[in-house]
Amino acid sequence: MCQLKAIVEQSDGSQKIVMEAVTDVNVTPDGVTLKTFFEEPLTVPNAWVQSIDFLSGSMILSVKQIT
């Protein structure tokens, strides 16, 4: 089974895990919605998928800067 850690990269380069054991990812115009088996879905607003590393089981999300 392939489950990912979703990590948000901040503008200062720091990273924060926002959800573990992610089983479904949906990219929408509003951001990225993450789902797991047992938690409520989480939407990271204004985010985009920067990278996915299947070997380490992690996905890096970046947040678009609104000007």
Confidence (pLDDT) at 9:
96
Question: How many domains, the chain?
Answer: 1
Mean pLDDT per block of 10 residues along the chain (67 residues) reads 89 93 96 96 96 96 84
- Around Cβ 42, how many Cβ atoms within 10 Å? 15
Enumerate residues 6+ apart whose C-beta is below 8 A from 67: none
For the entire predicted model, the pTM comes to 0.89
Which residue range is the domain that position 41 belongs to?
A: 4-63
